[in-house]
Amino acid sequence: MQKNSRIYVAGHKGMVGAAIFRALHKKGYGHLIGLSSRELDLKNQSAVKSFFESEKPEVVIDAAARVGGILANNNYPYPFLMENLMIQNNLIDFSHQYGVEKFIFLGSSCIYPKLAPQPLKEEVLLTGPLEPTNQWYALAKIAGVKACEAIRQQYGRDFVSLMPTNLYGPFDNFDLETSHVLPAMIRKFHEAKINGHQPVRLWGSGTPMREFLHVDDMAEAVVFAMENAFDDNLYNVGTGQDLTIKALAEMIQRVTGHQGEIVWDSSKPDGTPRKLMDVHKMTAAGWTAQINLEEGIKDTYQWFLENIDQIKQVKL
């Protein structure tokens, strides 16, 4: 990979895409391409085709997606399925048609069956039913993984899929209706603290196990995948370590300084009992995560405090 290679990061305004942009810039890549959704609607096939014709990217990193937590997936199943299919299909197909040298597709650990053996190995894909609360997003991402695999198999193209565990970090979504568990907790504990250390009510029992990866680690994994030839098409990206949601809540409570009560609402769904990624393939390829969870949460909370007036949908 040359430092002047034309690298297009789809979704560069989002948390993951922004981190990838920062990592590439830091490593000296000088021809980075990023367009906002207003500048390029990735759901618009003709617009995406025109972009590939004019910009001729040599590398495409697909960090663009409609994302959200359990509540958002439950409430908006059709757009979570269809919009993600439209975005990724346009990017994958035109990358193939216009001879992109390297394509990196980003998905999620939710592509794996709900009750698959832990830790989750890449080969358990499509071996059982999905978690119902995020099946729409998962189905779209599975289609993307298989499209990249098909291109790799049929045409010998360097298309790779990276499946990260739960991501968090600067530029995360802190809206309580659409955010994931970790940023939602940061906001809840912060608001409860500034309102007299009120009790914090959290969904479920607190018993499910989850793994979390700082977005800057994810960005480093993407750059590593871009700079190296991988032997296979699908790789998990994570820390290989998990903790209970209860332990996560207590950690965030400690970082934010909240001193009130935590109340668990067991009438709300827990989701998948456990989602731990087997990261042996990525480790064997030469990459491992570096950022400790508590330090990463401190970093994220500091960013939240510094950007509280500009954070999209914070509505404090």
- Residue 309: the pLDDT is 84
Domain limits for position 210:
7-306
Q: What is the mean pLDDT of residues 288-300?
A: 98
Structure-model confidence comparison of residues 271 and 80, the more confident one: 80
Q: Which of 42-51, 140-149, 231-240, 305-314 has the lowest mean pLDDT?
A: 305-314
CA dist 163 and 166 (Å) reads 10
Q: Are strands 243-244 and 166-168 parallel, antiparallel or unpaired?
A: unpaired
Q: What is the mean pLDDT of residues 87-99?
A: 98
Residue 133 DSSP class: G
Cβ atoms within 10 Å of 260's Cβ, excluding its own: 15
> Is this structure's pTM higher than 0.85?
yes
In a domain, 313, yes or no: no
Q: Do residues 55 and 8 make contact, with C-beta atoms less than 8 angstroms apart?
A: yes
In a domain, 312, yes or no: no
**Domains contained in the chain, number:** 1
Instruction: Give strand ranges (E) for 114-221.
Output: 158-164, 166-168, 200-203, 209-210, 212-214
Residues 145, 131, 109, 124, Cα dihedral to 10°:
-70
- Residue 312: the pLDDT is 52
pLDDT at 315 over 50: no
- Residue 269: the pLDDT is 84
The residues annotated as belonging to the active site are: 137
User: Which position has the token pair 């404090």?
Assistant: 316
The model's pLDDT over 13-56, given as tens digits with 9 standing for 90+, comes to 999 999 999 999 999 999 999 999 999 999 999 999 999 999 99
Mean pLDDT value across the chain = 94
pLDDT at 59 over 50: yes
pLDDT at 307 over 70: yes
Per-residue DSSP letters for 259-309? -S-EEEETTS---SSEE-B--HHHHHHT------HHHHHHHHHHHHHHTTT
CA dist 46 and 302 (Å) reads 41
Distance of CA 231 to the CA centre of its chain: 23
Residues annotated within a binding site for NADP(+): 11-17, 106-109, 141, 164-167, 180
Q: Do residues 89 and 110 make contact, with C-beta atoms less than 8 angstroms apart?
A: no
65: CATH: 3.40.50.720
In a domain, 77, yes or no: yes
- Residue 74: the pLDDT is 80
User: Which position has the token pair 């209970």?
Assistant: 244
Q: Do residues 117 and 124 make contact, with C-beta atoms less than 8 angstroms apart?
A: yes
Task: Label residue 316 by pLDDT band (50, 70, 90).
Answer: very low
Q: Do residues 65 and 11 make contact, with C-beta atoms less than 8 angstroms apart?
A: yes
Cβ atoms within 10 Å of 150's Cβ, excluding its own: 15
In a domain, 314, yes or no: no
Task: Label residue 175 by pLDDT band (50, 70, 90).
Answer: confident
**Helix H or strand E segment including 17:** helix 15-26
Query: Residue 86: helix, strand or coil by DSSP?
Result: helix
**Helix H or strand E segment including 236:** strand 234-237
In a domain, 1, yes or no: no
In a domain, 15, yes or no: yes
Across-strand partners of 102?
59, 158
The model's pLDDT over 208-227, given as tens digits with 9 standing for 90+, comes to 999 999 999 999 999 999 99
- Residue 274: the pLDDT is 83
The model's pLDDT over 250-268, given as tens digits with 9 standing for 90+, comes to 999 999 999 999 999 999 9
Q: What is the mean pLDDT of residues 75-96?
A: 96
CA dist 103 and 59 (Å) reads 6
Residue 109 DSSP class: G
> Largest Cα–Cα distance of the chain, in whole Å?
61
Residues annotated within a binding site: 11-17, 106-109, 141, 164-167, 180, 188, 203, 210, 270
> Exposed/middle/buried for 162, CB within 10 Å: 0-12, 13-18, 19+?
buried
